Amino acid sequence: KCDMDGLQTLSPLARTQSNLGIPEREQQIRLENEFMNAEKLWILTNEIPFVCREIQIILLCCLEILSPKTMNALKRKYPEAYAAAQEKKKELETQSAEGLDEDRGSQLLAFKSETNAVLKGQLRLEGWNVTTAEIMLQSPKWNKNLTFKTTVGGSVPLKVQQIHNAYNHLKMALTSVSDLEIAAAATAKGFNRTSIIHLTRILSEVSKSLREALEEFLMPNKDVFPENLVSSVHSTHTPVFQPPLPPDAIIEVMLSNKEVVINAYCLQFLDPTGTKVPTSRNSHGVMGQHQTSILIGQIFKGRKKTMMEVLDQATVRCKALGVTLVYEQTNESYRLAAELMDKLALF
């Protein structure tokens, strides 16, 4: 870490100004200014580069965990920091008893609800994608109490949007850290009030991106049922689920409080008068294609005309090691940025 001991020799002798003549006071002021300028130069040439490198390593480590694909572009742009980030990632994995599955940071999460509605299965989380999943949903209030099973594993993965958002925020923070390094080097050659304000503004952008990334891990996704009914139903009927979920069932995967949350809703469609719409199913509890199309059409007519009742629901929370590690490391980066901001305030 940076050592400020060498600067202490520049500190003026402790004497009160009342006992000094005008020349002595001017000499003391000059020495104090020299000391302050030396301290500022030290921060610009030592502290900021050191902290920037630490944050770069942490962010590259986090991005490596969150990304479902190899980051060749970042590897070329930050060769030394990227190599250090790989070592840090291995160290974090070693410190954990569970460890991350495989070198890409994928995890297999098993889940089972303890509620009236049974929601259980397993999913593999790789970066921001659920690449494979086996899900079973059953409720005595829905689907004739028959078990509905579906999987994820085709060419279209199930994206956990908050993880992708966090990745984008961290990538923006990484870019701002690089800008901070360049600005600090330029300021060290001749700093003034304008250049210090510019440094503070860049560091504020770093902190803002880090804070927004942290919020993605803590706050529930807003673009889910029932806040966004159309989006929820539409996601149910993409090629993600095989076989597709019936329109009277919704399954969502999101983050909340640093955990992976799987929500399932069993629904009952109602006509404009509030009367239940009958749903014919086969012996396996699956709707026919014709009725599925009709019900989806009713939903997309508009929210005001969409009427449905939640018959049952289930929620399962899973701890994902990759999510926990990235949150903790992002929080550490935020702390380093805050400490650096305090030092810039001395300018």
pLDDT tens digit sequence for 53-103: 999 999 999 999 999 888 899 999 999 999 999 999 988 877 765 544 444
**pLDDT above 90 coverage of the chain, percent:** 50
Instruction: Compute the distance between CA of residue 244 and CA of residue 239 in angstroms, rounded to an integer.
Output: 7
> Count of alpha carbons within 13 Å of 183, Cβ hemisphere only?
18
Above 80 in pLDDT, residue 21?
Answer: no
- Please tell me the predicted confidence (pLDDT) of residue 278: 66
Size (the chain), residues: 347
Above 70 in pLDDT, residue 104?
Answer: no
DSSP code, position 127: T
Instruction: Compute the distance between CA of residue 82 and CA of residue 324 in angstroms, rounded to an integer.
Output: 21
Highest mean pLDDT among 8-22, 100-114, 174-188, 276-290: 174-188
Residues 6+ apart with CB under 8 A from 149: 134, 135, 136, 137
Above 50 in pLDDT, residue 110?
Answer: yes
Above 80 in pLDDT, residue 186?
Answer: yes
Highest mean pLDDT among 202-211, 293-302, 308-317: 202-211
Above 80 in pLDDT, residue 226?
Answer: no
Confidence of residue 125 (pLDDT cuts 50, 70, 90): very high
Above 70 in pLDDT, residue 23?
Answer: yes
| pLDDT mean over 152-174 | 94
| Among the listed residues 114, 123, 101, the one whose alpha carbon sits nearest the alpha carbon of residue 241 | 123
* Kind and range of the H or E run holding 154: none
- Please tell me the predicted confidence (pLDDT) of residue 238: 62
Above 70 in pLDDT, residue 232?
Answer: no
- Say whether the peptide bond before residue 226 is cis (omega within 30 degrees of 0): yes
| pLDDT mean over 293-299 | 47
| Among the listed residues 235, 259, 52, the one whose alpha carbon sits nearest the alpha carbon of residue 162 | 259
Average pLDDT in the chain = 82
Enter the pTM of the model: 0.81
Task: Name the least confident of 183-197, 209-223, 248-262, 307-321.
Answer: 183-197
| pLDDT mean over 145-151 | 93
Above 70 in pLDDT, residue 10?
Answer: no
Confidence of residue 203 (pLDDT cuts 50, 70, 90): very high
